[in-house]
C-alpha cells in the first residue's frame, strides 16, 4: 500500500463545475496535509494546507480533512480551464530535520471550456 494514494485520473469537468479531488494516507502519525498544483514541466505550487479536522476555504478552493478516516480532499468551485493541471496531495510526518513530505502520484484534472 502506498503511503499517499490518489486516483491518477484524468478527471474531466466542464468549465464552471466543481472538481473534487481525493486522497488517502496510511500513516496515522501524519501531521500536516497539503495540496499542490503542478503544471506540465513546472515545479509544484502550494495551493492549500490543512492541519486539523474539518474544512478550510480559500477563494475557490476548499480542503477537507478527516483524520479518523485518513482522508483529505480538495474541492475546486467554478472550475476554469486554467485549473487544468496535476494536483498533488502531500502529507508531512516526522523525519530527519523536522519532517518528511510524502507525495501522492497526483490526479490530472482537465477543465473543458
CB of 47 to another protein, least distance (A): 12
How would you write the chain as a 3-class SS string?
A: CCCEEECCCCEEEECCCCEEEEEEECCCCCCEEEEEEECCCCCCEEEEEECCCEEEEECCEEEEEECCCCEEEEEECCCCHHHCEEEEEEEEEEECCEEEEEECCCEEEEEEC
The residue range among 10-18, 22-30, 32-40, 71-79 that interacts with another protein, by the rule CB under 8 A, is: 32-40
Q: Kindly state the number of chain residues that form the binding site for another protein, as judged by CB under 8 A.
A: 24
The residue range among 13-21, 39-47, 58-66, 70-78 that interacts with another protein, by the rule CB under 8 A, is: 39-47
Q: Is 23 in the site for another protein (CB under 8 A)?
A: no
Q: Is the distance from CB of 43 to CB of 106 less than 8 angstroms?
A: no
Q: Is 46 in the site for another protein (CB under 8 A)?
A: yes
Give the one residue of 24, 30, 34, 76 binding another protein; rule: CB under 8 A: 34
On the 0-12 / 13-18 / 19+ scale of CB atoms within 10 A, 74 is buried
Q: Is 47 in the site for another protein (CB under 8 A)?
A: no
CB of 33 to another protein, least distance (A): 11
Residues that bind another protein (CB under 8 A): 32, 34, 36, 41-46, 49, 88, 92, 95-106
Amino acid at each position: 500500500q502506498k503511503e499517499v494514494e490518489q486516483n491518477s485520473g484524468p478527471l474531466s469537468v466542464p468549465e464552471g463545475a466543481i472538481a473534487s479531488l481525493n486522497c488517502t494516507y496510511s500513516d496515522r502519525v501524519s501531521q500536516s496535509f497539503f495540496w499542490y498544483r503542478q503544471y506540465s514541466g513546472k515545479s509544484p505550487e502550494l495551493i492549500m494546507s490543512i492541519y486539523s479536522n474539518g474544512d478550510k476555504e480559500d477563494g475557490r478552493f476548499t480542503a477537507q480533512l478527516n483524520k479518523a478516516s485518513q482522508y483529505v480532499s480538495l474541492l475546486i468551485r467554478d472550475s476554469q480551464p486554467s485549473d487544468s493541471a496535476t494536483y498533488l496531495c502531500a502529507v508531512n510526518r516526522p523525519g530527519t530535520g523536522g519532517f518528511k513530505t510524502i507525495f501522492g502520484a497526483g490526479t490530472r484534472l482537465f477543465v473543458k471550456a
